[in-house]
């Protein structure tokens, strides 16, 4: 270790990166089948699907920064939108969940806007407060609302069995003003 401490910082970081690549290569080569490889199609598509929420939150943060607002509370707004979306889907179906999820996330943004612009609170303080209050409040709401349903708990929304079929005209087939779009 003393030899690594004597190296310049750039060289030691390059060695750490090379070691990380070696570990990733070994993990990929010792995988049991093609589906467990890091570069498999399923792995890449799953990674893109799971990271989409974080990418969209980052895009929202970019728009906030361009408008001159430091929005640290994006994660709290995501929690608000997720909880209200689950509750809306439970009460009124998928469209109600989608609408109420958007309203819940926008309510977090409204709280941030009123706090920072209306009351002059520091942007960082307001964002951190939203990040701390939103998960706690939604966990409390889950304990009050979701626990009464079958499959619902303080950390899981209840399962909604039947949403029905949904087709998006033009994108996934269906009738669009008399024209049958391909599936």
- Give the model confidence (pLDDT) of 17-47 as tens digits: 999 889 888 877 776 666 566 667 777 778 8
Percentage of the residues of the chain whose pLDDT score is greater than 90: 39
Distance CA(115)–CA(80), nearest Å, equals: 17
Kind of pairing between the strands at 179-181 and 174-176:
antiparallel
Tell me: the pLDDT tens digits for 97-147? 899 999 999 999 999 999 999 999 999 999 999 999 999 999 999 999 988
Mean pLDDT, the chain, rounded, equals: 84
3-state DSSP of 107-121: HHHHHHHHHHHHCCC
pLDDT at 10: 81
* pLDDT average, residue stretch 161-166: 66
Whole-Å CA distances, 16 to 4, 10, 176:
10, 10, 56
In this structure, are residues 85 and 104 in contact, taking their beta carbons and an 8 Å threshold? yes
Distance CA(24)–CA(133), nearest Å, equals: 38
pLDDT at 128: 96
Distance CA(101)–CA(170), nearest Å, equals: 25
Distance CA(133)–CA(27), nearest Å, equals: 40
User: Residue 80 — pLDDT band, cuts 50, 70, 90?
Assistant: very high
Tell me: the pLDDT tens digits for 48-64? 888 998 899 999 899 99
- CA angle at 154 for the pair 135 and 161, rounded to the nearest 5°: 110
* Residue 1 predicted with pLDDT over 60: no
* Residue 180 predicted with pLDDT over 70: yes
Q: Output the furthest CA–CA distance in the chain (Å, rounded).
A: 75
**Residue 174 gets which letter from DSSP?**
E
In this structure, are residues 178 and 119 in contact, taking their beta carbons and an 8 Å threshold? no
């Amino acid at each position: 270790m003393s030899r690594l401490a004597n190296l310049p910082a750039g060289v030691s970081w390059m060695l750490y990166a090379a070691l990380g690549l070696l570990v990733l290569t070994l993990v990929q080569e010792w995988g049991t089948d093609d589906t467990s490889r890091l570069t498999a199609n399923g792995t890449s598509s799953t990674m893109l699907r799971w990271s989409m929420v974080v990418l969209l939150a980052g895009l929202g943060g970019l728009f906030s920064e361009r408008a001159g607002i430091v929005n640290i509370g994006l994660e709290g707004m995501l929690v608000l939108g997720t909880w209200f979306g689950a509750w809306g889907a439970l009460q009124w179906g998928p469209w109600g969940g989608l609408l109420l999820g958007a309203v819940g996330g926008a309510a977090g943004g409204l709280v941030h806007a009123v706090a920072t612009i209306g009351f002059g609170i520091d942007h960082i303080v307001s964002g951190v407060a939203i990040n701390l209050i939103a998960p706690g409040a939604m966990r409390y709401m889950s304990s009050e609302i979701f626990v009464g349903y079958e499959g619902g708990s303080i950390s899981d929304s209840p399962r909604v069995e039947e949403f029905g079929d949904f087709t998006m005209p033009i994108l996934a087939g269906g009738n669009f003003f008399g024209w049958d779009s391909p599936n």
